[in-house]
Structure 1
Amino acid sequence: MTGAASYQFRPVTMDDLPLLAAWRSTAHVRQWWGAFEPYSPEALSDARVARWIVSTAGRPFAFIQDYSVHGWDDHHFAALPEGSRGIDQFIGDPAMVGIGHGTAFIGARIRALFENGAPVVATDPHPDNARAIAVCRKLGFVPSGPPQETAWGPILPMLARRPGQ
């Protein structure tokens, strides 16, 4: 990958479900995300979560979602400042793994969230997902506590703060 790669983010639609199902069936995604449960139209219209298909050079290759950490009463990031966002993501296309796209597209999304006013961006990789944790660290995330068990499974809570805060 070159530093000149640019990324496009478009909202997930019902038409994307076969693509997401295919990506979620690959071993490298299924290991951390489990079986795919298709989104309903109601889930895709949930204002708490923005879900995106990521493309580069016209090629869709990844999924990222950002969400209000205050959208659920019992969310493990609910104590963060108002306006904070959480992120989850994966590269679906196995040919795009390990060549720098993850760091680049996640970094682009984080910058957009900060530009839109998020004071903190949180993420919660599985504590055993060394690749995801390494990418998060490269992007300025730091652990905000020890690994813990949540309603969504085991996590390592990590935070990145808007520059200057």
Structure 2
Amino acid sequence: MSTPVIVRHGERELSGVARAGEAWGRAASRIATTVAGEPFAVDLSGAEKVFAVDPDQRLTLRPMTRGDLPDVSRWRSADHVARWWADDGDPDLDSVTAAYGPHLDGRTPTRMWVVEMNGRSIGFVQDYRIRDYPEFALLAGEPDAIGLDYAIGEPAWIGRGIGVRMLWEWFGRTRKRFPEASCFFAAPDHRNTASLRALAKAGFTEGVWFDEPGNDGSTATVVGCSLDVGRVVG
């Protein structure tokens, strides 16, 4: 069974299909061979899988360093981020350094990345093997998956489709780092509709809801969202 795939390039639309057994991302790359640039996902939530190529906006991920922590502290303090990241502690620089410094130093299984648009830092991603956190693996039900959390820090980039694009960029990087991984997993708060919408557009499927214990003794009801790497990315 084939799946319709569209790749947008400026005012052009290149149409084709993902053949039986062909990943949507690989089909988009094949369809877009006549244009400069690699396609990224725009909306994979419908029957028609929509990608785009935009050579004027270059989005990349790079390893986070301690020099990025003032930006992370500022992003974590922003209203649109603070509500969903409260469990990581206070957003002041000292607390952020204490929370994330061990990740940056390689003393935990978590790795952190800065999202850049045309060289400007605009957000961050953290990822980990779920089985490296047994208490979470029991809840998530996907111990062999690669988990991620993410935030667009700069308010100017909210609502512009960057969430889906940064997820797609992370897919490509993570596919190379963990070639054996067949599933990516995220679990946003059930009230975080913007994150759930971005995950759906990036190709994730909603699964089980579960209560995740917080560091302060509270619980948050989150939605387990899984991505089939072979089908979506290839």
How does 1:71-82 map onto structure 2 within 5 Å?
Answer: 71-75=132-136, 76-77=139-140, 79-80=141-142, 82=144
Retained in 1: the 8 A contact 2:129–2:143?
Answer: no
Match of 1:108 in 2: 169
For 1:143 and 1:113, locate their aligned partners in 2 and report how far apart those are by CA, in whole Å: 21
1:27 aligns with 2:91: no
One of 182, 200, 203 as aligned partner of 1:140: 203
Report the TM-score, using the length of structure 2 for normalisation: 0.64
Match of 1:38 in 2: 96
Which structure shows the bigger proportion of residues in strand conformation?
2
**Residue 81 of structure 1, CA deviation:** 5.6
Match of 2:188 in 1: 125
One of 120, 138, 158 as aligned partner of 1:97: 158
Name which of structure 1's ranges 3-12 and 58-67 shifts more when overlaid on structure 2: 3-12
1:64 aligns with 2:125: yes
Structure 2 letter corresponding to 1:62: G
Gaps of 5+ in 1: none
- Aligned with 2:67: secondary structure? helix
Structure 2 letter corresponding to 1:29: V
Q: Radius of gyration: which is bigger?
A: 2
**Residue 72 of structure 1, CA deviation:** 1.4
Structure 1 letter corresponding to 2:162: H
Match of 1:150 in 2: 212
> Over aligned residues, Cα RMSD in angstroms?
1.9
**Residue 38 of structure 1, CA deviation:** 1.2
Retained in 2: the 8 A contact 1:51–1:63?
Answer: yes
Moved over 4 A (4+): none
Retained in 2: the 8 A contact 1:53–1:64?
Answer: yes
Retained in 2: the 8 A contact 1:148–1:155?
Answer: yes
For 1:54 and 1:105, locate their aligned partners in 2 and report how far apart those are by CA, in whole Å: 7
**Residue 148 of structure 1, CA deviation:** 1.8
Q: For each residue in 1:25-84, what CA deviation from the matched residue of structure 2 results, as whole angstroms up to 9, or x when unmatched?
A: 11111121123231333232234111011101111001111111011121123x4263x2
For 2:58 and 2:187, locate their aligned partners in 1 and report how far apart those are by CA, in whole Å: 25
Retained in 2: the 8 A contact 1:81–1:119?
Answer: no
Retained in 1: the 8 A contact 2:60–2:169?
Answer: no
Which structure shows the bigger proportion of residues in helix conformation?
2
Gaps of 5+ in 2: 1-51, 215-219
- Aligned with 1:127: secondary structure? coil
